[in-house]
Amino acid sequence: SHDQVPDEYYVPDSASALPDTLLSRRANATLLMLARNADVDNAVRSVRRLEDRFNKKFGYPWVFLNEEPFSDEFKTRVSNVINGEVTFGLVPREHWYQPDWIDEDRAKAGREKMVADNIIYGGSVSYRNMCRFNSGFFYRHPLLEQYKWYWRVEPDVHFHCDIDFDPFLFMEDHNKTYAFTITMYEFRATIPTLWDGVKEFVRAHPEYIARDNAMGYMSDDGGNSYNLCHFWSNFEIANMEFWRGEAYSKFFEFLDRKGGFYYERWGDAPVHSIAAALFQSKEQIHFFDEIGYEHNPYTHCPKGEGAWARGRCGCDPKRSFDYDGYSCMRQWDRIWD
């Protein structure tokens, strides 16, 4: 559905000058960015934009993760644009690198085929490490263990509107688990056997499938085949208890054992999306129309009544991705009819 965030979640402008009245109620949440040292310029841009449009009012802590130690430059420059608390963490080796039980000859052959087929990041091992980490490990990092909610932020993303409401509290109060701003098709060549794995898992574990799930968004034939629709995971606001729970933990472990993160190039976006859509009610997935968001090359710009003006959005609603030919919003909408 496209429900608007109710007024009670908005904080009046005057509150931003009064830090002690600001945070009467807070979620157990963090803003999260995975980045390399070389991403520092773009990391600073994203942080600055989200601080300006949202977090200067709310003061949620930031966590930055990297499989290499962050440089002093990265830490200094990023801290300089953050008002509140910030922590820099190291990803444990065993959460990042290609496991020994992966057959490297087979993985290499898979990469070479994708390079020949011109698949984006087809030849990259580090991109595969990142996708696997974001699928099954980030929420187990010691720095994230204390938190329930995270908002995933990537380098060089844009926030086009004021976000004067607390999306975490909105989600908590409305029993939402996963929120998105953009939905689109995955490249089939990156996940040729993923859906077979999903079907195998579902046959083995029918008890994890929610009654009122969002299968109709992901499949046009009742679950036999995948239509490639997924939530674009470079933006995510979600409850980590879902990823930490039994259904998703078993699902990730099952998929990981198939080796598809390395033999193919399974993305965290389809993996998260499929789980969110199957293991819980569709009502628990939320589309945040109010959050104007851009990750190259796509923008979501609020079209909802009043949202664009209220948010002082700088984006052009006519160029919103929502009903672009490559968007999956139509598949999202049809399950609400």
C-alpha 287/C-alpha 276 separation (Å) is 13
Query: How many residues of this chain interact with ligand GDP, rule: CB under 6 A?
Result: 12
Token pair recorded at residue 102: 């992966």
Minimum CB separation of residue 35 from ligand GDP in Å reads 4
Residue 4 is given by DSSP the state P
234 binds ligand GDP (CB under 6 A): yes
Applying CB under 6 A, among 30, 39, 47, 143 the residue interacting with ligand GDP is: 39
C-alpha 208/C-alpha 119 separation (Å) is 33
236 binds ligand GDP (CB under 6 A): no
The alpha carbon of residue 243 and the mean position of all alpha carbons in its chain are separated, in whole angstroms, by 12
144 binds ligand GDP (CB under 6 A): no
302 binds ligand GDP (CB under 6 A): no
Ranked by CB distance to Mn ion, the top (closest) residue is 154
Minimum CB separation of residue 35 from Mn ion in Å reads 10
126 binds ligand GDP (CB under 6 A): yes
Applying CB under 5 A, among 154, 162, 236, 289 the residue interacting with Mn ion is: 154
184 binds ligand GDP (CB under 6 A): no
Residue 246 exposed, middle or buried by CB count within 10 Å (0-12, 13-18, 19+) = exposed
Neighbours of 17 (CB within 10 A): 8
Interface of this chain with ligand GDP, residues 151 to 170, rule: CB under 6 A: 154-155
Angle in degrees, CA 139, 259, 211, rounded to 5: 60
The active-site residue out of 51, 154, 186, 236 is 236
Q: What is the DSSP string of 299-335?
A: EE---STTHHHHTT--S-GGG-GGGSTTB-HHHHHHT
Q: What is the DSSP string of 230-284?
A: EE-TTSEEEEHHHHHSHHHHHHHHHHHHHTHHHHS---HHHHHHHHHHHSS-GGG
C-alpha 224/C-alpha 232 separation (Å) is 23
Residue placing its CB nearer to ligand GDP in the complex, 131 or 240: 131
Per CB under 6 A, the segment of 21-29, 126-134, 215-223, 251-259 that binds ligand GDP is 126-134
Minimum CB separation of residue 163 from ligand GDP in Å reads 20
39 binds Mn ion (CB under 5 A): no
Per CB under 5 A, the segment of 12-20, 24-32, 149-157, 262-270 that binds Mn ion is 149-157
- Asked about 236 being catalytic, the answer comes back as yes
Name the residues annotated as catalytic.
236
- Contact footprint for ligand GDP (CB under 6 A): 34-36, 39, 66-67, 126-127, 130, 154-155, 234
